[in-house]
Chain A
């Protein structure tokens, strides 16, 4: 039985294999009855729009159906049932479980108690492997993922997508450039781990110092609640904003990614520039999640 809990559990060959299948799916080379008769259980203990809907859409496109838990308030969770028990019970209803949960490690726990495959759709500040796979997939659509200069910008301390992507990129000999406000830097343990594995990690104070060298600029949201007051937030947020002016003179092949939803990090005028790939990135969630569902259920 295959679970997909963390990008760390996958080696480069497995990641490449998933992306190859996603590409075939996107080119319409897949069976619409591939998962006919299978039922997907969506257990979302936290709100989600994009991830939940794209897993449901991916399942429907492969001929399967989905069951949703509904709101936490209306479920047995409010009666104090453990996640372990919920997982054991739901395992009897469905052929695979998609789990989003506020606690880190929840998906790992679920995989220990489930009798069907579990895919982690985000566990607290922890892992979100389908997001990382679609980030990588979007990069691969534009360029060969090898020895790239990738800029990670924004809240790199709490931004789980940036952590997982940095780890995955280390498998592809990337150089990681980090640009983040004071106090929101990439965690030291992760930086140490990347460097020990041979990945170069370079910190920059300003995006302007490095933007012209980048192949990929991955922007994450700086959350207002991380700052003591609105004025300090706006001051920081404005200096991390991507504008057409900032992008003048960058490599023609640069792509700008964002896991969405975005607030003020990217000027809407950037949307029409050739660098903007964040909406394609979001759409890539469907073929990538279809490939993941096939991997665990076929």
Chain B
């Protein structure tokens, strides 16, 4: 067994059913969990490895979520902070499906508008709405453009 594999095996053991998110940009694993709505109150068993040495990337993070298969919409949100991530759906210890992430056209209720004067930050029955553009996220209410630190604005 290669040394790296043994080390990784110690960090995160295989799962029987669920999702493995691999090739997450180093240090972004916790943000990935946040963006797909997994917080301390969820019931899934989660394994997280950060800054794992990878042949493909300098450092990568890996997340394993037991007994939950991520939906397409959830997967695509990940592209905002980890565009090179790959998603493996695991059934009975085997990779049932492997897919990349695609950047969604719009983000509804995922990112908070940094503009304190934006109506989406007021007590109104709406969710924030952003258009994903090559230069950043464009608020469809107030036209604010988020160009950096997207994770800071995730709801």
Contacts and interface: CB of A to CB of B under 8 A. Distances in A.
Interface of A: 6, 8, 82-84, 101-106, 108-109, 112, 123-127, 189, 192
Interface of B: 115, 117-120, 122-126, 135, 139-145, 147
Contacts of B126: 84, 109, 112
A109 B124 contact: yes
Contact of B115 (A83, A104, A106, A127): A104
Given A84-B124, A109-B124, A112-B126, A125 B117 contact: yes
B125 A104 contact: no
Contacts of A84: 124-126
A106 B115 CA distance: 13
Contact of B119 (A8, A106, A125, A192): A106
Nearest to B136: A189
A123 B141 CA distance: 10
A6 B141 CA distance: 10
A104 B117 contact: yes
A104 B124 contact: no
Contacts of A8: 143
B145 A105 contact: no
B106 to A, nearest CB: 14
Contacts of A82: 123-125
Contacts of B125: 82, 84
Q: Which of A83, A102, A103, A126 has the most B CB atoms < 10 Å from its CB?
A: A103
Contacts of B120: 105, 109
Contacts of A126: 142-143
A223 to B, nearest CB: 16
A101 B119 CA distance: 10
Given A103-B117, A124-B117, A108 B124 contact: no
Nearest to B113: A105
B123 A105 contact: no
Contacts of A102: 117
